[in-house]
């Protein structure tokens, strides 16, 4: 009798051990100064919130008579250290303050992650707004951008990100850090057989 046994070797990068993390936290430290905290798994970051007005990189005055008549784009970028990736969960614009000189002016902020829109939140008073970023998994680099546009009737006098001087009271990006297991070099020969079935024949 002849028996044929099919064996398939699977290989590649294996993700494991997701741990919740604050990936990026930009907040005021008072006196117009700002800081950014990142998780240890963040290798590099770039803060492009550079269209600020009176008080650093998080404050936008009303323009042209108190109305934000052009769309402002702000962004941050960060990347994972080697051997890890990110699963995003949420992006929160915390404790913003808002002023208007008349009417029912509002500011619409559309959030994007790596070019994908998460939708638009409307800002018209003190508070916080959160975008759901779940489903954006296994990314090694992240670009979060915002398009800020004045809407409604009336005029915006100012729009400010996170005036409270404490961590978590500015721009907060949360998710999980996923460890990526890379096969050791000694396994190279076996990896070359990835996905290829080979036959072991056994005769009696």
3-state secondary structure 45-67: EEECCCCCCCCCCCEEECCCCCC
Give pLDDT, residue 189: 45
Task: Name the nearest CA neighbour of 66 among 95, 96, 99, 97.
Answer: 99
Domains of the chain: 16-182 (2.60.120)
CA dihedral of 24, 27, 32, 34, whole degrees rounded to 10: -30
Distance CA 52, CA 9 (A): 55
**Non-local CB neighbours of 189 within 8 Å, separated by 6+ positions:** none
Six token digits for residue 71: 């769309």
pLDDT in tens, the chain (204 residues): 444 333 233 334 445 567 889 999 998 887 777 888 999 999 999 988 765 555 555 667 554 444 555 678 889 999 999 999 999 999 999 888 887 776 777 888 999 999 999 999 998 888 899 999 999 999 999 999 999 887 777 777 777 888 778 888 889 999 999 988 765 655 544 444 444 444 344 445
Residue 87: CB atoms within 10 A of its CB come to: 21
Taking residue 71's Cβ as centre, other Cβ atoms within 10 Å add up to 11
Contact 86, 177 (CB under 8 A): yes
């Amino acid at each position: 009798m002849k028996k044929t046994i099919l064996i398939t070797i699977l290989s590649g990068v294996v993700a494991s051990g997701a741990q919740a993390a604050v990936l990026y936290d930009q907040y005021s430290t008072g006196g117009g100064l700002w800081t950014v905290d990142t998780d240890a798994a963040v290798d590099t970051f770039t803060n492009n919130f550079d269209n600020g007005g009176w008080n650093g990189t998080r404050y936008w005055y009303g323009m042209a008579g108190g109305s934000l008549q052009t769309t402002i784009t702000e962004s941050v970028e960060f990347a994972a250290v080697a051997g890890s990736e990110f699963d995003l969960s949420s992006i929160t614009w915390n404790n913003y303050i808002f002023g208007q000189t008349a009417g029912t002016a509002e500011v619409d902020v559309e959030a994007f992650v790596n070019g994908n829109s998460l939708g638009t939140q409307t800002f018209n008073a003190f508070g916080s707004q959160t975008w759901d970023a779940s489903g954006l998994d296994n990314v090694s680099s992240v670009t979060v951008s915002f398009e800020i546009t004045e809407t409604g009737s009336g005029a915006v006098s100012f729009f400010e990100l996170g005036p409270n001087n404490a961590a978590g009271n500015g721009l907060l990006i949360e998710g999980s850090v996923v460890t990526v297991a890379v096969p050791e070099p000694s396994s190279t020969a076996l990896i070359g057989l990835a996905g290829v079935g080979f036959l072991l024949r056994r005769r009696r």
